[in-house]
């Protein structure tokens, strides 16, 4: 749910104030049905007030107003979307334990949207963003397992766009590249004025070599899947190159190292070619 969505929230101009007398009469005449009607009018007015507060950057105040709207009308899906968005908007403004607490609260609010009775009413765009935001929140929490899980779920959504699916698969590949670099950095020596030098594999612990190669193989699997889904997704080729370079660091056979470095260079060239094509297309359309 984007800020623009909140700004586009329909304006009721406090119309419910004019209909409350009528709703009161309906309440007397129809009992609970009339009461529900009043609550729905009030909830929509609260939604608008919450949107105004959100657009002013008053996220915590907006959050409370959206929550009240949900209490008035528990089936009000848009209020639930805005409520989750307001909580998420506070995450980057906090740190430490407060950030962790708010991120977990935002995840719970988004998971509410994915309950069967709610998810079936979500628009495709809102469903996709909900999965994306949950994944991003787990990334903020440094919960790599859950982050990867939600990237996969987003990639597998029905009617998912190829570029979005490729982006999710690529992002998982990046996770494994990070794992590989954490291992290889243990064997780096900083040389003044030069790039760090990595010790030869015969200086490595066997378990580190095995772990790095496993991370690279898994990362390359997801990167190749991303490329298969969208061959024009340039970033996938960039990280294919980086993963192959990590593999070369832990490889002893000079012939294999040469093959890996050549494949890495080819991936870089493909990355550069796609970026040039994208720039030319953008220039031609402007």
Residue 193 main-chain phi, psi, to 5 deg: 80, 5
Work out the number of other CB atoms within 10 angstroms of the CB of residue 51. 24
Q: How confident is the model at residue 30 (pLDDT cuts 50, 70, 90)?
A: very low
pLDDT at 187 over 70: yes
Which pLDDT score is estimated for 20? 44
Average pLDDT over residues 64-89: 96
- Collapsing DSSP to helix, strand or coil, 15 comes out as helix
pLDDT at 155 over 90: yes
pLDDT at 23 over 80: no
> Residue 254 corresponds to which tokens in the numbers above?
């000079």
Q: How confident is the model at residue 9 (pLDDT cuts 50, 70, 90)?
A: very low
Condensed to tens digits (0 to 9), the pLDDT of residues 221-252 reads 999 999 999 999 999 999 999 999 999 999 99
Beta bridge partners of 189: 197
Work out the number of other CB atoms within 10 angstroms of the CB of residue 280. 10
- Burial code (b: 16+ CB inside 10 Å, e: under 16) for 4-39 equals ebbeebeeeeeebeeeeeebeebbeeeeeebebbbb
- Alpha carbons 65 and 47: distance in angstroms, whole number: 7
Nearest to 90 by CA among 69, 61, 126: 61
pLDDT at 271 over 90: yes
Which pLDDT score is estimated for 109? 98
Work out the number of other CB atoms within 10 angstroms of the CB of residue 40. 17
pLDDT at 125 over 50: yes
pLDDT at 21 over 70: no
Q: How confident is the model at residue 6 (pLDDT cuts 50, 70, 90)?
A: low
Local structure of residue 196 (DSSP, 8 states): P
**CB of 199 within 8 A of CB of 153?**
no
Query: Beta strand pairing status for 188-189 and 197-198?
Result: antiparallel
Which pLDDT score is estimated for 286? 58
Beta bridge partners of 198: 188
Q: How confident is the model at residue 48 (pLDDT cuts 50, 70, 90)?
A: very high
Nearest to 133 by CA among 175, 203, 83: 83
61 Cβ neighbours under 8 A, 6+ residues apart: 53
pLDDT at 65 over 90: yes
Of 25-29, 80-84, 149-153, the least confident: 25-29
């Amino acid at each position: 749910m984007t800020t623009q969505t909140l700004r586009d929230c329909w304006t009721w101009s406090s119309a419910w104030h004019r209909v409350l007398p009528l709703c009161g009469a309906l309440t007397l005449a129809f009992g609970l049905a009339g009461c529900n009607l009043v609550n729905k009018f009030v909830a929509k007015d609260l939604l608008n007030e919450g949107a105004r507060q959100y657009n002013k950057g008053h996220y915590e105040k907006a959050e409370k107003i959206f929550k009240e709207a949900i209490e008035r009308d528990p089936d009000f899906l848009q209020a639930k979307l805005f409520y989750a968005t307001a909580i998420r908007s506070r995450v980057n403004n906090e740190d430490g334990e407060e950030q962790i607490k708010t991120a977990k609260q935002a995840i719970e609010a988004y998971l509410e949207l994915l309950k069967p009775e709610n998810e079936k009413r979500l628009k495709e765009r809102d469903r996709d963003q909900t999965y994306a935001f949950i994944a991003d929140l787990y990334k903020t929490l440094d919960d790599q397992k859950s982050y990867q899980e939600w990237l996969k779920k987003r990639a597998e959504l029905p009617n998912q766009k190829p570029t979005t699916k490729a982006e999710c698969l690529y992002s998982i590949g990046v996770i494994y590249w990070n794992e590989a670099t954490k291992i290889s950095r243990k064997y780096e020596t900083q040389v003044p004025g030069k790039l760090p030098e990595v010790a030869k594999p015969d200086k490595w612990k066997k378990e580190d070599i095995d772990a790095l190669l496993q991370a690279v193989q898994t990362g390359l699997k997801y990167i190749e899947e991303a490329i298969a889904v969208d061959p024009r997704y340039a970033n996938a080729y960039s990280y294919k190159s980086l993963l192959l370079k990590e593999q070369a660091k832990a490889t002893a056979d000079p012939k294999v190292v040469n093959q890996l470095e050549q494949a890495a260079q080819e991936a870089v060239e493909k990355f550069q070619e796609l970026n040039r094509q994208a720039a030319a297309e953008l220039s031609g359309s402007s």
